[in-house]
């Protein structure tokens, strides 16, 4: 399932207030803007309104199919990491994530976001997600965040995708059995240095010390 339609993102640059922008790529002629000191713009594309997080303390997040990657693990593009995963309040288990590419897009790709996106360069984090725990994780979704070299933040938070460029896919109905897999893409962007890493930071342990994939 591809998440299309309204895309929301927040820009958070150090020394400036956050800027919230809502842009439509479904043919609407105008976009509404809102300035706010908050750098978050929540959105959910799941029909049940669930949001993903990981909780390594959950029983259902026990190692399956190999050892779970410890917080702070550093990997290369193409490496596979087994991770605890929780989606909403009911779905939890163990997944394996393989980042297959971090691709640089063109500034023109950000046109759908309007004037506030000028100067931003998008990056497309492509990945394969596997169900290694065998629990029902159908219709869940996962987002990895782009990081600068050394793991620093980009200063830009994006929620959504760019259809045809970077399609954020949710897990299919069949993603409820061990061995099931799907491919997806996380959109990230920067106004400064290039994005050099992809970061898994779901759950308390990983938010402080994320798993990073670099080239």
Task: Note the pLDDT tens digit of each residue in 24-55.
Answer: 344 333 333 333 333 333 343 444 444 444 44
CA-wise closest residue to 158 among 194, 122, 129: 122
Least confident of 13-27, 48-62, 156-170, 201-215: 13-27
**From start to end of the chain, where are the E strands?**
6-11, 19-24, 32-35, 52-53, 74-76, 80-87, 91-104, 121-131, 145-148, 156-159, 181-190, 195-200, 211-214
pLDDT digits (tens, 9 = 90+) for 157-187: 887 788 999 999 999 999 999 999 999 999 9
Answer whether residue 13 shows pLDDT above 70: no
Q: What is the model's pLDDT at position 161?
A: 82
Answer whether residue 119 shows pLDDT above 70: yes
Answer whether residue 127 shows pLDDT above 80: yes
Q: What is the model's pLDDT at position 158?
A: 80
Contacts of 117 (CB under 8 A, 6+ apart): 21, 23, 110, 111, 189
Specify the pTM: 0.72
CA-wise closest residue to 144 among 90, 82, 97: 97
């Amino acid at each position: 399932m591809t998440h299309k339609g309204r895309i929301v993102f927040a820009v958070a640059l150090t020394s400036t207030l956050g800027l919230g922008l809502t842009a439509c790529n479904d043919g609407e002629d105008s976009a509404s803007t809102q300035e706010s000191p908050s750098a978050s713009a929540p959105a959910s594309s799941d029909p049940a309104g669930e949001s993903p997080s990981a909780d390594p303390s959950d029983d259902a997040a026990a190692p399956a199919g190999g050892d779970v990657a410890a917080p702070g693990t550093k990997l290369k593009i193409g490496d596979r990491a087994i991770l605890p995963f929780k989606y909403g309040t009911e779905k939890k288990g163990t997944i394996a994530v393989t980042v297959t590419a971090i691709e640089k897009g063109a500034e023109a790709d950000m046109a759908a976001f309007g004037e506030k996106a000028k100067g931003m360069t998008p990056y497309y984090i492509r990945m394969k997600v596997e169900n290694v725990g065998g629990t029902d994780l159908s219709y869940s979704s996962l987002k990895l965040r782009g990081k600068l070299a050394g793991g620093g933040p980009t200063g830009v938070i994006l929620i959504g995708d760019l259809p045809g460029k970077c399609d954020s896919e949710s897990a299919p109905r069949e993603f409820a059995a061990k061995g099931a897999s799907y491919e997806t893409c996380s959109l990230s962007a920067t106004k400064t240095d290039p994005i050099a890493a992809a970061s898994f930071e779901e759950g308390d342990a990983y938010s402080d010390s994320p798993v990073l994939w670099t080239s």
